[in-house]
């Protein structure tokens, strides 16, 4: 299971109290992280990367818990977009997650059982405020960049709003400033599938060691469809049959796409916690950066001097280009330094995670050139 060997996970103990948006307060909690590359003497080459819904701190290389390739290995490593020969990259597991950070699968010292749904409901804002402690831990006054896709992009936006002068560059990718009704509905479908599983036990399944794997697998299958594009699905699978020449006339797997989705669901339950899925999707649904600014997104960034580079993908219908462009419009309204590009891709929302050459080259060149230009200005 995903939490078998915590000895392979680095973490800091956040001692200072953190006031959550729900009104509760947490302190003395673990925040798991991983680093890539080396922090230079000036401490001006640090990049904080935020992960998406089912990601974790193991963005590159081999994940020591799952033994699988890191979720952003295409983009991070020597000579890649996040060039670890040039940059010092930090990535944390969000609070509410299940890869070593404080979350519903954390063992409660009082009961010696997982916290389960006694864990407080959290927000993107809470996640970002928790991760800010990493700057103090590494004694970094100002980050060169922050970056992330999907929910990671939401954290990028929230970070700039909360800490307007703590990052020189922000790269939100395939994201939104406010979760749409469609996306809330899709997340609710996943949550209900988990909670309908008889093994969920109101979130205290850790006590009987029977996980709601069927519900979690269905949630993953439903979500995975939204990460792809219609064209990509059609070209890859079409109506191809799975290991047979004719229809079986049953409810077993007939089509390759069915087999693919079932596989995605079955491997997911081995590395992710069902309660974490509930809490993190809830945090995404609560995300609305305009909420504290009377619906005015521009005001969320009003005090920031951060350079922005917003990236979207043509075939992403989960966080489509217009929602990314709204961020650009809000930034333009306050005269912010903002660049924008829509990358042509038929890989859907997952384009930022996959080997998408135009995206990877664009990101690499932007980070490389911007870092060089900023350093030249300081000389």
DSSP state of 316: -
Catalytic positions:
150, 316, 349
Q: Where are the alpha helices (DSSP H) in the chain?
A: 124-131, 133-137, 151-162, 181-195, 213-227, 230-236, 256-268, 274-286, 297-300, 321-333, 357-378
- Report the C-alpha gap between 15 and 127 in whole angstroms: 15
Strand 25-26 relative to strand 18-19, pairing: antiparallel
d(CA 294, CA 256): 48
Task: Provide the 8-state DSSP code for 244.
Answer: -
SS3 content of the chain, % helix, strand, coil (to 5): 40, 20, 45
State the sign of the Cα–Cα–Cα–Cα dihedral 229, 325, 122, 180: negative
Q: How many CB atoms lie within 10 A of CB 137?
A: 14
Helix axes 181-195, 274-286, angle to 10 degrees: 160
Cβ–Cβ under 8 Å, residues 85 and 37: yes
> DSSP string of 127-163?
HHHHHTHHHHHTT-SSEEEEEEETHHHHHHHHHHHHS
Dist CA 13 CA 27 (whole Å): 9
């Amino acid at each position: 299971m995903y939490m078998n060997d915590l000895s392979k996970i680095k973490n800091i103990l956040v001692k200072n109290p953190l006031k959550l948006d729900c009104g509760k307060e947490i302190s003395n909690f673990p925040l798991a992280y991983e680093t890539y590359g080396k922090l230079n003497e000036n401490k001006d080459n640090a990049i904080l990367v935020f992960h998406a819904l089912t990601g974790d701190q193991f963005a590159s290389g081999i994940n020591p818990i799952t033994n699988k390739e890191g979720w952003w290995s295409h983009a991070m490593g020597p000579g890649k977009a996040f060039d670890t020969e040039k940059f010092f990259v930090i990535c944390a597991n969000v609070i509410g997650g299940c890869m070593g950070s404080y979350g519903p699968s954390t063992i409660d010292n009082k009961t010696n059982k997982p916290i389960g749904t006694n864990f407080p409901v959290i927000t993107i804002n809470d996640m970002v405020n928790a991760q800010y402690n990493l700057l103090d831990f590494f004694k970094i006054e100002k980050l060169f960049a922050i970056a992330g896709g999907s929910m990671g992009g939401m954290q990028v936006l929230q970070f700039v709003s909360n800490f307007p002068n703590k990052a020189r560059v922000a790269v939100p990718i395939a994201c939104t400033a406010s979760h749409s009704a469609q996306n809330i509905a899709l997340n609710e479908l996943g949550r209900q599938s988990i909670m309908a599983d008889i093994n969920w036990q109101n979130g205290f399944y850790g006590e009987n060691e029977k996980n709601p794997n069927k519900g979690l697998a269905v949630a993953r299958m439903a979500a995975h469809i939204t990460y792809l594009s219609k064209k990509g699905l059609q070209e890859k699978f079409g109506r191809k049959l799975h290991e047979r020449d004719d229809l079986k006339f049953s409810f077993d797997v007939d089509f390759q796409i069915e087999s693919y989705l079932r596989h995605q669901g079955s491997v997911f339950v081995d590395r992710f916690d069902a309660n974490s899925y509930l809490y993190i999707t809830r945090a995404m649904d609560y995300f609305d950066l305009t909420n504290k600014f009377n619906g005015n997104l521009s005001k969320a960034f009003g005090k920031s001097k951060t350079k922005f580079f917003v990236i979207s993908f043509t075939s992403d219908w989960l966080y489509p280009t217009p929602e990314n462009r709204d961020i650009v419009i809000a930034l333009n309204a306050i005269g912010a330094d903002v660049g924008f590009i829509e990358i042509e891709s038929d890989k859907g929302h997952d384009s930022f995670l996959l080997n998408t050459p135009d995206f990877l080259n664009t990101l690499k060149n932007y980070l490389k050139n911007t870092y060089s230009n900023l350093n030249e200005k300081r000389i």
